[in-house]
Structure 1
Amino acid sequence: MNQIDSRSAEPDGTRALFFIQIFSTLGFAVLYSSLVLYATKKLGFSETQANTMMGVFGAFNYGLHLFGGYLGGRFLSNRNLFVLGMVLQVIGCWVLSGQQAEGLYWGLAMFLTGSGLNVTCINMMLTQRFAPEDSRRESAFLWNYAGMNLGFFIGFTGAGYFQLQEHYQVLFLFATLGNAVAIVVSLLRWKTLADLDTPLLHVSGSQLRLRMLAGLIILAVLVPVLRILLTHAGFTGTFVLALGAVIFLLLAVLTLRHRPREEQRKMTAYLLLALSSLIFWTLYQLAPMGLMLFTEHNIMLDVWGIRIAPQWVQNINTLVIVFGGPLLAIGFRNLRERGWRVDIPLQFAASLFCIGLGMLVLPIGIMLAGQDGMVAFKWIVISYVLQSIAELLISPVGYAMIGRLAPQRYQGIMMGCWMMVTGVASVLSGYVSGLMPQNSGSTPALTNPGYSHIFTLLGWGSAATGVMLLVLMPLLRRLIQSSASRL
């Protein structure tokens, strides 16, 4: 295994991964923000069909992160799987640019295969740059998370421009450009991004070739399978929830049987933290669903004479992440140098309080709304800022904790499980959105009470979960504690 110099400012490959993260995210941002509009305005889909397809796209995208964690480092190296996934995304966007309904399903299947599998790969490539006790890991993930959101900002901005012009072919070619740049940077830094310690590195030459062949066959088969699943979306939500429950139970059994005890304790802490994060991600995933509809129908979007598109509100999150990520990394370092114990359990609890507050400010805005029921724009801004701060507190450290709490041979699987929590939460967010008032044929004054009730329940529920984490904090810290140091 290559040795990492802990004295260097940053390990080799981290800068390359930062830029790769920006451009690899750009393509996903385009589809995430434009898919429903493309399907309805260009291909003639109904809004119900388009929204159902978007739900399936999101659920399988996050669900495949788990599968990517298993494939990467076992059948294909993480860098190989990442580049192959990028190639599939390029081909998928090119097929989508043909503007045909049949091409939509095949294009999405190819893009989804690539985007679903390679997210885990890039996080695994990054976490392997650091030794288990390297304190620089969290800062690296915060910077990478800022890079990902910079990619979202560029993608959202470009998608909005081409969407206004209804130049869909150019829109998907724009997404292809970002993916192509990610491929080029990966190839230029190919040797630097090599896996450092994965099961694939410990097999013989003949086994290596067989595993690589199996990995390529899996990729080839996965595309038509997803093509079929995209056209049968009715059971997807139930399937994702059931799969998430099974994976959690299997991981719990694996934890009970695992030895040595110190690793078992850390895996137990991982399970408790992952379970609590499900509350955060369920609230966070409301942004493109129920919260987006609330913004469109109940928020005053004329600001200083400018009409604000509901989609542009998402950039509040992007800007807070891009500028707040590096600042938070610096702030945490300064606090720890002064003796503050800013660790994983505390950050998770603070995140739940913060996103809960982001929900609770909305009923205040509703209470202060005018007679027409329209809520001042500042309240949705405050809510998104609080949600974004909560994301900064939990998401980057969630990725970083894998390298600290997961045994070496389970890191890929546990990284995938952590990402799959978001997929399960996306399904739950859909159910929560279904409990919100229907805007069609109604008015803000009539729907506001229903929105206020749901937001209040969500906010206090998140706060209650944060209190539970505070109560469990001494236990979690004992579980995480190692013989060498504390987080």
Structure 2
Amino acid sequence: MASSLTKDEAEREKTSPASDTRFFGHPIGLAPLFLTEMWERFSYYGMRALLVVYLIAGGPDAKPDSQGGGLAMPEASSVAIYSVYVAMVYLLAMPGGWFGDRVWGPRKTVTIAASTIMVGHLALAIPGKPSFFAGLALVAIGSGLLKANISTMVGHLYDGPQDPRRDGGFTLFYIGINLGAFFSPLVIGTIGQKVNWHLGFSIAAAGMAIGLACFLWGTRHLNPKSSVVPKPLTAAEKKSTLTKGLVWLAIAAVFYGIVGGTGHFTLNWALIPITLAGLIIPITVLFRIKRDKELSATEQTKVSGYIWFFVAAAVFWMIFDQAGSTMSTFAEKKTADNVFGFNFPSTWFQSVNPLWVMALAPVFAWLWLWLARRDREPSTTVKFAIAMVVIGASFFVFAVPMGMAGDGTKVSPAWLLMIYMIQTIGELCLSPVGLSLTTKMAPQKYASQMMGVWFLAVTAGDCTTGLLSIAEVDLNGTGMILLQAALAALAGVAVWMYRKKIEALMGDVR
């Protein structure tokens, strides 16, 4: 008997979310998203590995025998710039999600984002401060546009929040992130630090170009929802949004024109407002979503539960993201750069965390499934509590080599290898789980924007670090390291103690 399905309908039936297992048991659409994110992370982490050492190169805080040609900035200013830059990448994920929800749809937003990132890296490849800071801004804008929307498209591939493959899919996606993050410091870091800084930035641009090509090639395998604008702006909203944007742009232009024209402008005039905004905006956004009267009672309750995870994540990332600043300068100046006579650049340490992720992520993915089959998998709340205690433990350990290096002794690289391993265990308990949790708990109205909210936790953590650096707090001091470690551990204990209350707010999400 002839089928009543057309060829296209039959193909869709054959590759429905539940039956499509062509990419390691997951929908084939995960492949282009995996590759796009891998190459975007290659470009991002390669540039990030160079950032602080490039900023201090040629200045008083640089390693004596290091390559010159950098911006010769003090270490405190460099750490502040790094922290603000990383914070802005994640802060801009919120408007990135808004563009996906209200203007372009996730698929078009990612295409524009990848193009912007590529241009930003090309600007970094041009010597000079103006092109450098313009490049940083473009990469931050592009990364913000990309991050929330590409994660949302991963969620679109699965058959609803209860699809048992969903957490595994995000973990596999996370492996793609870390493949790019592992190779980039070895390639971009080595060439930038040992040959030419700007050649390194050029290679980052090439990596993003490959990622863009992978995405455009694979768009036919994505869920059609990825091309839909969930809630397009009305004509009145477009006019209002454009007017508000131009007003704020004019205010900023006039203000900084006056400050610069009177000769009072310093770097802090830019850094302090941005770091304060990075703390105020997350609070404002969560408050606005929580008070949205269009949300159902269940959705509002879930947002209340989500706030607990947001605060915990902010503390976690405050410590974790110092891998590229506090720990990067420690690696550059206070850690031995050779093993058995083999010398290597300090940027190679930035490959250690993704290497641990690739080694341990499959173990964790298997472990969660093994425990789930026996009905013993820890809840999301317990996983977050474990992550907080573990990240605190990593800085308790970090205090040991920091104390050993106080007299000028260079410590063994094994210390950083161990600290990164501990941090990776915490990361795997929090980051892929948090991405999946966000797609499950997001109100329908804020589907892409809630991914931006998740990334705002990184903004809040990094802006805290940035403010401390601007205030010239010694983040390399043993006392400050121990204080942060204790704060994270106490936060983990608090999440554990209140886990039943949090889980009650989560409704049917576990």
State the TM bucket, normalised to the shorter chain. 0.7 to 0.9
1:156-305 matches, cutoff 5 A? 156-193=185-222, 196=225, 200-201=229-230, 233-256=268-291, 258=293, 259-305=295-341
Which residue of structure 1 aligns with residue 487 of structure 2?
461
Distance 1:104 1:293, change over 3 A: closer
Q: Does 1:387 align with 2:387?
A: no
Which residue of structure 2 aligns with residue 24 of structure 1?
40
2:440 is aligned, of 404, 418, 433, to 404
Deviation at 1:411, TM superposition (A): 2.0
Which residue of structure 1 aligns with residue 261 of structure 2?
none
Deviation at 1:22, TM superposition (A): 0.8
Greater Cα shift, 469-478 or 158-167? 158-167
Q: Does 1:324 align with 2:360?
A: yes
1:416-431 matches, cutoff 5 A? 416-431=452-467
What one-letter code is carried by the residue in structure 2 that aligns with 1:382? Answer: M
In structure 2, list runs of 5 or more residues that go unmatched. 1-11, 58-67, 258-264
Greater Cα shift, 179-188 or 3-12? 3-12
User: How far does the alpha carbon of each residue in 1:428-465 deviate from its partner, in whole angstroms, 9 at most, with x for none?
Assistant: 12345643377xxxxxxxxxxx41x3332222221111
2:474 is aligned, of 433, 436, 450, to 436
2:133 is aligned, of 105, 117, 141, to 105
Deviation at 1:85, TM superposition (A): 1.4
Which residue of structure 2 aligns with residue 5 of structure 1?
17
Which residue of structure 1 aligns with residue 65 of structure 2?
none
Deviation at 1:37, TM superposition (A): 4.4
User: How far does the alpha carbon of each residue in 1:78-112 deviate from its partner, in whole angstroms, 9 at most, with x for none?
Assistant: 11111111112222223333324433233333333
Distance 1:107 1:367, change over 3 A: closer
Deviation at 1:275, TM superposition (A): 1.0
User: How far does the alpha carbon of each residue in 1:241-285 deviate from its partner, in whole angstroms, 9 at most, with x for none?
Assistant: 345334424423532555422222211111111012111111112
What one-letter code is carried by the residue in structure 1 that aligns with 2:46? Answer: V
In structure 1, list runs of 5 or more residues that go unmatched. 439-449
Greater Cα shift, 363-372 or 128-137? 363-372
Which residue of structure 2 aligns with residue 352 of structure 1?
388
Conservation of the 8 A alpha-carbon contact between 2:302 and 2:505: yes
Partner Cα distance (2:412, 2:119) in 1: 43
TM-score (normalised: structure 2):
0.81
Deviation at 1:401, TM superposition (A): 0.7
Which residue of structure 2 aligns with residue 447 of structure 1?
none
Deviation at 1:329, TM superposition (A): 1.0
**Percentage of pairs with the same residue:** 23
Deviation at 1:417, TM superposition (A): 1.4
What one-letter code is carried by the residue in structure 1 that aligns with 2:134? Answer: W
Partner Cα distance (1:122, 1:241) in 2: 28
Q: Does 1:143 align with 2:159?
A: no
Partner Cα distance (1:28, 1:367) in 2: 32
Aligned to 1:46, the other structure's residue is in SS state coil
Distance 1:356 1:189, change over 3 A: same
Deviation at 1:234, TM superposition (A): 3.0
Partner Cα distance (1:351, 1:37) in 2: 29
Q: Does 1:476 align with 2:476?
A: no
Which residue of structure 1 aligns with residue 61 of structure 2?
none
Greater Cα shift, 367-376 or 123-132? 367-376
The alignment of Structure 1 onto Structure 2 pairs a total of residues equal to: 462
2:91 is aligned, of 63, 86, 92, to 63
Aligned to 2:93, the other structure's residue is in SS state helix
Q: Does 1:125 align with 2:137?
A: no
1:341 is aligned, of 374, 377, 383, to 377
Deviation at 1:203, TM superposition (A): 5.3
Distance 1:435 1:75, change over 3 A: same
TM-score (normalised: structure 1):
0.84
Conservation of the 8 A alpha-carbon contact between 2:102 and 2:231: no
Greater Cα shift, 236-245 or 313-322? 236-245
Deviation at 1:470, TM superposition (A): 0.7
CA RMSD of aligned residues (A): 3.4
Distance 1:437 1:476, change over 3 A: closer
Deviation at 1:364, TM superposition (A): 4.3
Partner Cα distance (1:458, 1:348) in 2: 17
